Amino acid sequence: MVLTHSSGGALTLIEPACAALAFIAMAPALGMNRTDLPLIFRILRAPFLGLAWAARAAVGLWRGKPQQVEEEHDLPSPSIGYAEIPGEIDASQYDPARFQPGYQSLPEQGEPLPPRDSLLVDAPYAPIERAPGEIPEAPVPLEPQTPAFLAYEAEPEPKRGFLSRLTGFGALRRSTPVTAADGGRIEPGFEAAPPVAPFVAPPAMPAPVPQEPLPPQAELLPEEPAVEAQDEDVEDDNPFTPDDALEAEQAAEAARAAPVVKIVPRKQPVAQGKRAAKAGQRELDLGNEYKLPPLDILSLPSRVSAEPKIDEEALEQNARLLETVLDDFGVKGQIVKVRPGPVVTLYELEPAPGTKSSRVIGLADDIARSMSAVSARVATVPGRNVIGIELPNAKRETVFLRELLSTRHYEDTRLGLPLALGKDIGGDPVIADLARMPHLLIGGTTGSGKSVAVNTMILSLLYRLSPDKCRFIMIDPKMLELSVYQDIPHLLTPVVTEPRKAIVALKWVVREMEDRYRAMSAVAVRNIAGYNEKLAETARKGGVLTRKVQTGIDPETRKPTFEDEEIDLNPLPFIVVIIDEMADLMLVAGKEIEAAVQRLAQMARAAGIHVVMATQRPSVDVITGTIKANFPTRISFQVTSKIDSRTILGEQGGEQLLGQGDMLYMAGGGKIARVHGPF
């Protein structure tokens, strides 16, 4: 329609658009795709941009450069020089009459400027000359005046059309003065400063009359006697100032006022039991009754002192040094008690209010370095508002097994399965009951005393219980540690050294546990102690206990048949399963071993079966979460890292032990105590 019904001028205008459309239509034929459209539009836009630039230049030439018109009431912008500084410029040359607010009128060209109404100095036009005489002090210091503000509000920008956006020109904005209440934009302005009071010279003061200095007199303190004056000829060599002397005196008074550290003396050795008193008397073997092994076969301590000597002065010095070290690390507190022991000494720190225990525990390595110690263990003391810091002694005492087995604590009849673990920090023997644990997990590296502790526990049971009261199943994959017990009468089976046989032995223990549960259920008791007590009572009365046992199925009625079976009145012994190295068993048959140990750990307590398991590699693949959950009582010897300590105990501290029998004993309630075992 355009081509047929329009003149030649219309065709001239349409030709560029048609050419552009044709160029766009030919883009696919030229090998271009959709991503090249921006380039095409840029090419097509170039002529229009040129026309817009030409139009903008023409409009600029036609309008000319805009001139700024100043209204009559506008004030000239002040020429700011420098303000008056007291003591630098003579303030008396200023006339107070000058300070009038505002200019009356603008001066004509060539006329002098009117008096200035502020202290702003116009340096180029009116330089200030310095007075030839002495410059008096300035009046009251001039306070800076906060500049007034004139508010202007920008008018909204008008809408711009297509041609305005194309050429870049728009409507000019004008600013009209508004007040601050209108909410407009605030721009700074200047107003005249308030007038300053005229300077009044102060009255002259009379010159002071020189007086002879009085001789120095010693100041007497009310609490101390007067000090006699020394000879004036003596030269003062003290490099400290009076302030330093006062601080030194205050420090000395604080040191004298500091409370003395309480040194807790070590307890007297525990009295020996009846068995130790009869150890020197030999008895004749007139029957087949089992005799417990004598204590004579155990070695005696090389030195037996009635009371160990304690250097209280050295302990107090170490306590003060420890306070200084903690103060250097930002820990405020006071050492209130010192408890010396056979291997380590416990310093009880009472921290200042607001001190976190975790912060002090994290400084264990730094404390050991500052105290020149091999290691230091920091832990909270349960039930008290103190933090225990354990430092090793310079001379370590050896703990002997014979000392532990000779005490009255070991002969306590209330303990079913007594285990002599060692001595605590104070030197008291630590005797635990395996029947109440009911299972024990032991971990530690080579040379830490783990295998010695296992042998100590076995000897503790052998020196107390006969074969009819306690039986053993020993599993020793290393074939060296437990082979010495091969011929004792307490063994249910020879020492197991092969992992496959260990699986069979553990499965037999599981079946024995189930048989004991059925026997206890038949006589209506809950545990092995009640079962043995009922059997002993029936034997004293001469009675018989029976239980029903299924013998078969009736062929006619197809119902099970039962018969009464007489129960053996011999008491059931405890069964203790000793596993020396759990890691080797887990490598061969991990699932079967873990399932059997888990079953025993969960159910074997009431049946009188207890497990003592030791491992040299306390990793999560050996001590799994299932095994760890069923062994509430654990012992950690020295380990290599904090991770191994957390794997065994659930917290760090095992890496700071000294080795050679030094252990951390965690009872069922989570309370951890440091024990020094025989080595």
Task: Name every residue whose Cβ is closer than 8 Å to that of residue 581 and which is 6 or more positions away in sequence.
Answer: 476, 477, 478, 614, 615, 616
> Closest by alpha carbon to 662, among 500, 466, 448, 514?
448
Structure-token match 């009922």, residue found: 534
pLDDT-wise least confident of 66-75, 106-115, 355-364, 555-564: 66-75
> At residue 575, does pLDDT exceed 90?
yes
pLDDT for residue 167 is more than 50: no
- In this predicted structure, the answer to whether residue 101 has a pLDDT above a threshold of 80 is no
| Averaged pLDDT score across all residues of the chain | 74
Q: Tell me the pLDDT tens digit for each residue of 607-622.
A: 999 999 998 888 888 8
pLDDT band at 594 (very low <50, low <70, confident <90, very high): confident
**Which alpha helices (H) appear in 394-448, and where do they start and end?**
401-405
Q: Is the peptide bond before 222 cis (omega within 30 degrees of 0)?
A: no
Token look-up 């550290």 returns 261
Distance CA 101, CA 195 (A): 8
Q: What is the C-alpha separation between 532 and 583, in angstroms, rounded? A: 36
Backbone angles phi, psi at 321, to 5 degrees: -65, -40
DSSP 8-state assignment for residue 607 = T
User: Which helix (H) or strand (E) is 615 found in, with range?
Assistant: strand 609-615
Q: Would you state the pLDDT for residue 326? A: 93
Q: Kindly tell me if the per-residue pLDDT of 172 is higher than 50.
A: no
Alpha-carbon distances of 207 from 135, 210, 212, rounded to whole Å: 20, 9, 16
Q: Which residue has the higher pLDDT, 58 or 98?
A: 58
How many Å apart are CA 520 and CA 562, to the nearest integer? 18
Mean pLDDT over 32-55 rounds to 78
Tokens 């056979």 correspond to 342
Ramachandran assignment for 542, one of left (phi > 0), alpha (psi -120 to 50 degrees), beta (any other): left
Q: What is the pLDDT of residue 396?
A: 84
Select from 129, 97, 128, 113 the least CA-distant residue to 196: 97
Mean pLDDT of 152-168: 49
pLDDT of residue 14: 72
Distance of CA 124 to the CA centre of its chain: 68
Mean pLDDT of 69-77: 49
The span from the CA of 26 to the CA of 380, in Å, is: 86
The DSSP H or E segment spanning 665 is strand 662-666
- Min mean pLDDT across 340-344, 620-624, 656-660 is at 620-624
Task: Report pTM.
Answer: 0.59
Is the predicted pLDDT of residue 510 greater than 90, yes or no? yes
Decide if pLDDT at 187 tops 80: no
Domains of the chain are 312-392 (3.30.980.40), 401-523+571-676 (3.40.50.300), 529-563 (no CATH)
The string of DSSP codes covering 449-481 is: SHHHHHHHHHHHHHTT--TTTEEEEEE-TTSSS
What whole-number distance in Å separates Cα of residue 513 and Cα of residue 507?
Answer: 10
- Number of C-alpha atoms within 13 angstroms, CB side, residue 345? 25
